[in-house]
């Protein structure tokens, strides 16, 4: 019933957190090559929707297909960076944990504009650089589905361009991206508005 | 296997970079033992009699002290959330972190135990039994600490709650631990009990703690 290139589909999702209904009857389809933007005011449940799709929150109603958890990358609010490890150590750790089928840590750092900083501790990075390091984590392991929560937060214009380029590459190479954002990501193929 | 080693190396490396934690733990352990003689007076016979209990209480408190850092840092920086999507099961990650936790909290305490033995005027045979009892019993404490830390990780101020939660559960370890140090004739039976407690809790803990983490991610 699903088209062969479908990555993720959700039907009539309803989420209740802390006794409050966060969103109701949300449906979405993500196929290979698509970039879906999730929009809505603060508190509309954008982050919660991503966590639900990642299988970390359980929906009160609705279905997510496929049933079994898919290998996916989640870029959440917090960057999951250890400040006392060097940039290269941080990336090597995620590469070892998630699977080493992506870029080498050095190449990933170069791709996100942090080349030459591999041996300094991540605690010395600025907020924007930390966010870039978090993006590099998505590159060291190749996974088809990316769920990005505010990927442009703390990034400068060049950083925003970088996110757009990475997202476009991911989509072009047969992956799919769902991004919750207030800004525009060029090349988006669809928009879902939560109210 | 690479993944397991990576978690292991990361936890040990972070502990080495942060430095002070292990030393604080050892100092705390020794100081609890050093304070007791002041409280009960300089009676060598009485001290030697109470020594097994004091060593266990000190080791126990020292291990509770380090419990919160098991998952707290990973929760705060968002790593814990991503562990759910790692290529290895959450149970394996938890088990590895438990072993690292034992190495970072129990092993230093065991290594420091001769110091306490001198302070509490233990004889050499008693001290050897103490080492053996700590070696056999602390894995159970580390396993229970892992469960406690996992259950309370989503509470912002869970630091004190976890020790209160696991304290009742670890009483069997204390009973057999003290029995093993105290009486030479019953020590082999107590050692078997201690080892059994450790094996059961170490085998059981990764599943319980991973379940707790999954629930608390909600």
A129 and A156 both lie in a single domain: no
B83 with A78: Cβ contact below 8 A: no
Q: Is 70 exceeded by the pLDDT of residue B47?
A: yes
Give yes or no for A76 touching B (CB within 8 A): yes
- Confirm whether A75 is domain-assigned: no
ipTM, two decimals: 0.88
What would the pLDDT profile of A161-193 be if each residue is shown by its tens digit? 999 999 999 999 989 999 998 888 888 888 888
Answer yes or no: do B77 and A80 touch at CB < 8 A.
yes
Question: Is the pLDDT at A56 greater than 70, yes or no?
Answer: yes
Residues A37 and A85 in one domain: no
**How many Å separate Cα A17 from the centre of its chain?**
22
**A87 and A58 share one domain:** no
In whole angstroms, how far apart are CA A142 and each of A124, A188, B91?
A: 27, 21, 23
A3 and A62 in a common domain: yes
Distance to chain B for A96, nearest Cα, Å: 5
Residue B91 confidence (pLDDT): 95
Q: Which residues of B touch A69 (CB under 8 A)?
A: 85
Domain that holds residue B122: 2-216
Tell me: do A38 and A130 sit in the same domain. no
Task: Name chain A contacts of B216, Cβ cutoff 8 Å.
Answer: none
d(CA B44, CA B173): 26
pLDDT digits (tens, 9 = 90+) for B5-30: 999 999 999 998 887 888 889 999 99
Cα-based distances in Å from A18 to A21, A22, A60, A189, A194: 8, 9, 12, 33, 19
Closest CA to B150 of B206, B99, B196: B206
Indicate whether A2 and A61 sit together in one domain.
yes
The pTM (predicted TM-score) of the whole model is 0.91
Distance, C-alpha B58 to centroid of its chain = 11
Does the structure show a pLDDT above 60 at A1? no
Q: What is the pLDDT of residues B117-172, one digit of tens each?
A: 888 888 888 888 899 999 999 999 999 999 999 999 888 776 688 888 888 999 99
Segments forming the whole domain that contains residue A138: 81-143
The answer to which of A52-56, A65-69, B106-110, B190-194 has the lowest mean pLDDT is: A65-69
Of A143, A158, A180, which residue constitutes the final position of a domain?
A143
State how many domains chain B has. Answer: 1
A113 shares its domain with A150 = no
- Chain A positions touching B18 (Cβ under 8 A) are 84
Rounded CA Rg of chain A? 17
Q: Are strands A6-17 and A20-31 parallel, antiparallel or unpaired?
A: antiparallel
Whether A135 and A117 map to the same domain: the answer is yes
Number of domains in chain A: 2
Please report whether residue A76 resides in a domain: no
| Chain A neighbors of B81, CB-CB under 8 A | 56, 74, 76, 78, 80
Out of A115, A143, A171, pick the residue that ends a domain.
A143
Verify whether the Cβ–Cβ distance A82 to B76 is below 8 Å. Answer: no
Do the Cβ atoms of A97 and B77 come within 8 Å? no
Same domain as A148, residue A62? yes
Residues A60 and A26 in one domain: yes
pLDDT at A19: 84
pLDDT in tens, A118-158: 899 999 999 999 999 999 999 999 999 999 999 888 889 99
d(CA B87, CA A104): 17
């Amino acid at each position: 019933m699903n088209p062969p290139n479908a990555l993720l589909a959700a039907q009539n999702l309803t989420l209740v957190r802390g006794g409050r209904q966060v969103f109701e009857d949300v449906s979405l389809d993500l196929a290979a090559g698509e970039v879906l933007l999730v929009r809505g005011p603060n508190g509309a449940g954008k982050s919660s929707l991503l966590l639900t799709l990642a299988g970390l929150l359980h929906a009160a109603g609705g279905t997510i297909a496929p049933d079994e958890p898919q290998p996916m990358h989640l870029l959440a609010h917090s960057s999951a960076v250890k400040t006392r490890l060097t940039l290269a150590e941080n990336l090597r750790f995620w590469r070892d944990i998630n699977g080493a089928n992506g870029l080498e840590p050095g190449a990933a750092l170069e791709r996100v504009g942090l080349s030459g900083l591999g041996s300094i501790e991540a605690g010395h990075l600025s907020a924007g650089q930390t966010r870039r390091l978090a993006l590099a984590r998505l590159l060291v392991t190749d996974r088809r589905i990316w769920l990005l929560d505010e990927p442009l937060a703390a990034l400068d214009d060049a950083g925003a361009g970088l996110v757009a380029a990475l997202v476009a590459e991911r989509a072009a190479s047969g992956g799919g991206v769902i991004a919750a954002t207030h800004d525009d990501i060029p090349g988006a193929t669809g928009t879902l508005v939560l109210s | 296997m690479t993944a397991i080693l990576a978690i292991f190396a990361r936890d040990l490396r972070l502990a080495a970079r942060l430095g002070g934690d292990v030393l604080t733990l050892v100092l705390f352990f020794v100081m609890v033992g050093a304070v007791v003689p002041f409280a009960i007076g300089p009676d060598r016979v009485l001290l030697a009699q109470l020594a097994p209990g004091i060593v266990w209480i000190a080791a126990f408190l020292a291990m509770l002290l380090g419990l919160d850092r098991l998952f707290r840092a990973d929760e705060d920086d968002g790593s814990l959330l991503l562990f759910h999507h790692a290529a290895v099961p959450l149970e394996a990650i938890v088990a590895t972190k438990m072993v690292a936790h034992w190495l970072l909290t129990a092993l230093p305490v065991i290594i420091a135990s001769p110091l306490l033995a001198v302070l509490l005027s233990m004889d050499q045979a008693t001290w050897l039994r103490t080492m053996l009892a700590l070696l056999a019993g602390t894995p159970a404490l580390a396993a229970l600490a892992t469960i406690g830390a996992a259950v309370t990780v989503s509470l912002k101020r869970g630091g004190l709650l976890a020790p209160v939660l696991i304290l009742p559960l670890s009483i069997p370890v204390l009973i057999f631990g003290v029995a093993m140090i105290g009486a030479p004739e019953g020590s082999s039976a107590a050692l078997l009990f201690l080892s059994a407690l450790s094996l059961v809790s170490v085998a059981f803990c990764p599943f319980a703690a991973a379940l707790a983490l999954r629930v608390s991610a909600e």
